[in-house]
């Protein structure tokens, strides 16, 4: 039975707890405090005050991927950023001389210092990784010169990246990409001729292929299509080994398998801790290999 409510009079009129000068007869459904129209937030039943709304957001657990990452509303965003970085560097190279641009010489991975011919009887000493240009292990991952090279690589990144980001989450996907690329650069540094500069995102992309293969196997999916794609790319690598860095491709693929294995097979209990520790160990191993190669080059 509905009964009429007689509003309090005089000093008994309730006021909004955030705006004491405003009278109100509406209360927050969670804490019961009176709230004015400016403080009302629609809820399933009644209204919530700003304080309870904020507290509820803190307590709401964010949706996570099967491997512990936060789900993202736009799983292609990270890939677009990576594509944008590669494209910006490529444009810089194109407008400063193309293959003869000084930026190619600065950003490419060169294992040891070498003389570069810049004109008739003129040579420039280029510093390599062993000579202190450690940054080349990373910058070479974002450097391409030929239009077909960047075009193919970015197409592969767009095909693989959003799927992996959806499965892993943004941070874990980025870790897979960057550590795979670094693993590819490390193998180039270990095995390629010391006077041979190397560029390209292929190491990181082969790492994404390795990650996709491992995740498909983990969930019991059909791996034939990804195996076929990997097989074709390795065949192209073997056939074109005279101008394609097989070291970078192989190193990136192995790195991708290892990092994806850490992310996918980490124990559910304290999963993030195991993932961080595992990837940290991979980085330590790569650092030791790089340091050992540097010592060998400088000591020779």
Nearest residue to 249 via CA among 206, 213, 209, 291: 206
Nearest residue to 82 via CA among 195, 14, 2, 180: 180
Residues 45 and 87 in one domain: no
Res. 9: pLDDT tops 50: no
Separation between Cα atoms, residue 232 and residue 217, nearest integer Å: 19
Residues 122 and 220 in one domain: yes
How high is the pLDDT of residue 59?
56
> According to the per-residue pLDDT averaged within each range, which of 83-92, 113-122, 234-243 is highest?
83-92
Give the pTM: 0.79
117's enclosing H/E stretch is strand 114-119
Percentage of the chain with pLDDT > 70?
A: 92
Residues 48 and 89 in one domain: no
Q: What is the CATH number of the domain that holds 264?
A: 1.20.1540.10
In the block, which residue shows the tokens 């005279």? 242
Q: Which residues contact 258 (CB under 8 A, 6 or more apart)?
A: 183, 282
Residues 119 and 267 in one domain: yes
How many other C-beta atoms are found inside a 10 Å radius of the C-beta of residue 117? 9
Residue 5 lies in a domain: no
Residues 19 and 124 in one domain: no
How high is the pLDDT of residue 8?
46
How high is the pLDDT of residue 132?
93
CA 233 from chain centre, in angstroms, equals 22
For range 207-224, the mean pLDDT: 90
| Per-residue tokens: 51 | 């304080």
Q: Which residues contact 13 (CB under 8 A, 6 or more apart)?
A: 7, 23
Residues 156 and 294 in one domain: yes
How many other C-beta atoms are found inside a 10 Å radius of the C-beta of residue 190? 15
CB 34 within 8 A of CB 25: yes
Residue 27 lies in a domain: yes
Percentage of the chain with pLDDT > 90?
A: 57
If one counts the domains in the chain, the total is: 2
Residues 46 and 85 in one domain: no
How high is the pLDDT of residue 41?
87
CB 155 within 8 A of CB 199: no
Residue environment code for 20-32, b if the CB has 16+ CB neighbours within 10 A, otherwise e: eeeebebbbebee
Residue 1 lies in a domain: no
In terms of residue numbers, what domain contains 17?
13-59
Residue 164 lies in a domain: yes
246-275 residue pLDDT tens: 999 999 999 999 999 999 999 999 999 999
Residues 99 and 162 in one domain: yes
Residue 3 lies in a domain: no
Residues 158 and 47 in one domain: no
Res. 206: pLDDT tops 70: yes
SS3 287: helix
Separation between Cα atoms, residue 282 and residue 275, nearest integer Å: 11
Helix orientation angle between 170-191 and 246-265, rounded to the nearest 10 degrees? 140
Residues 37 and 97 in one domain: no
Higher pLDDT, 66 or 85: 85
CB 222 within 8 A of CB 212: no
Separation between Cα atoms, residue 144 and residue 157, nearest integer Å: 14
Residue 71 lies in a domain: no
How high is the pLDDT of residue 1?
40
Res. 3: pLDDT tops 90: no
Higher pLDDT, 68 or 300: 68
Nearest residue to 108 via CA among 81, 74, 130, 133: 133
114-159 residue pLDDT tens: 877 766 767 778 889 999 999 999 999 999 999 999 999 999 999 9
Residues 86 and 43 in one domain: no
Nearest residue to 105 via CA among 120, 118, 95, 119: 118
| Per-residue tokens: 68 | 């512990």
Residues 111 and 22 in one domain: no
158-201 residue pLDDT tens: 999 999 999 999 999 999 999 999 999 999 999 999 999 999 99
Residue 259 lies in a domain: yes
Residue 6 lies in a domain: no
Question: What one-character DSSP code corresponds to residue 42?
Answer: E
Lowest mean pLDDT among 34-38, 83-87, 103-107, 163-167: 34-38
């Amino acid at each position: 039975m509905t009964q009429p409510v007689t509003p309090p009079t005089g000093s008994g009129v309730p006021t909004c707890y955030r705006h004491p000068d405003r009278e109100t007869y509406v209360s927050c459904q969670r804490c019961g405090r009176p709230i004015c129209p400016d403080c009302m937030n629609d809820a399933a039943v009644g209204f919530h005050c700003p304080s309870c709304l904020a507290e509820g957001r803190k307590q709401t657990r964010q949706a996570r991927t099967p491997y512990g990452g936060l789900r993202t509303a736009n799983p292609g965003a990270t890939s677009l950023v990576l594509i944008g970085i590669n494209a910006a560097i490529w444009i810089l190279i194109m407008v400063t001389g193309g293959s003869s641009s000084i930026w190619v010489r600065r950003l490419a991975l060169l294992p040891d210092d070498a003389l570069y011919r810049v004109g008739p009887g003129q040579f420039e000493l280029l510093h390599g990784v062993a000579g202190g240009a450690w940054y080349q292990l990373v910058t070479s991952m974002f450097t391409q010169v030929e239009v077909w090279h960047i075009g193919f690589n970015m197409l592969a990144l767009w095909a693989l990246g959003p799927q992996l980001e959806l499965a892993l989450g943004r941070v874990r996907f980025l870790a897979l990409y960057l550590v795979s690329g670094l693993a590819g650069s490390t193998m180039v540094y270990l095995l390629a001729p010391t006077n041979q500069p190397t560029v390209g995102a292929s190491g990181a992309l082969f790492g994404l292929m390795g990650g996709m293969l491992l995740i498909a196997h983990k969930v019991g999916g059909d791996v034939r299509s990804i195996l076929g794609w990997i097989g074709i790319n390795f065949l192209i690598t073997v056939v074109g080994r005279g101008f394609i860095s097989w070291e970078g491709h192989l190193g990136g693929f192995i790195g991708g398998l290892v990092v994806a294995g850490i992310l996918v097979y980490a124990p559910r209990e304290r999963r993030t801790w195991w993932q961080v520790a595992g990837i940290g160990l991979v980085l330590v191993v790569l650092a030791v290999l790089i340091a050992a190669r540097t010592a060998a080059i400088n000591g020779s």
